[in-house]
Amino acid sequence: MLKNFLPPHIYRIEGQPAYFDPVRKKYVLVTPRETVRQRVVPYLIQELGVPQKMIRIGEKLSYYGLNFRHRADIVIERFDAAENISRPLAVVECKAIETPLNEAAFNETFDYAEKLGCAYCILTNAENLFCFYIDAEEYIELEDVPNYHEMLKARLQNAGGVF
């Protein structure tokens, strides 16, 4: 899936290698984990049709009203028309390519998804990618990652039409 999405151009900022992140609109240092994030973002936009404005990178979970110091690698949001705000739809946990996707990585991803109230969670190290739909506290592994509109539709159906 991510094989077609290579890391972006590397710039030198104050002598350090950096990517220009189009979502955060700033330069970010090149790290193994950031390289995976920079491959995931164009995948989300180009392959899954996620609007760039609905992607948050490195967001503190406290932004969503949680008393939790950690940051989510990527949060895909949905617009809640009833309350006129954006809410988390999916969380993406990115690990460095050489990092195995073990039980601890899955548990971290599930924990973020649960805390954020997401309908989906994704775990990737760019070599492997796992997507889960969360249905009544059960994580259902999906064969393919649904596109943004499919995620919204499933979320709407699961919420009983309340969006």
The gap between the terminal CA atoms of the chain, to the nearest Å, is 30
50 DSSP β-pair partners: none
Dihedral over Cα of 2, 49, 42, 119: its sign: negative
pLDDT (tens digit per residue) in 135-156: 877 899 999 999 999 999 886 6
Helix (H) or strand (E) holding 140: strand 138-142
In this predicted structure, the answer to whether residue 162 has a pLDDT above a threshold of 60 is no
The two structure tokens encoding residue 20: 């220009």
Cβ atoms within 10 A of the Cβ of 141, count?
A: 8
**From the DSSP assignment, how many helices (H) and strands (E) are in the chain?**
3, 9
| In contact, 107 and 129? CB cutoff 8 Å | no
Domain ranges for the chain: 31-158
CA-to-CA distance for 92 and 38, rounded, in angstroms?
A: 12
Specify the CATH number of the domain 31-158: 3.90.1570.30
pLDDT (tens digit per residue) in 58-105: 999 999 999 888 999 999 999 988 889 999 999 999 999 999 999 999
CA-to-CA distance for 131 and 37, rounded, in angstroms?
A: 16
Question: The whole model's pTM is what?
Answer: 0.92
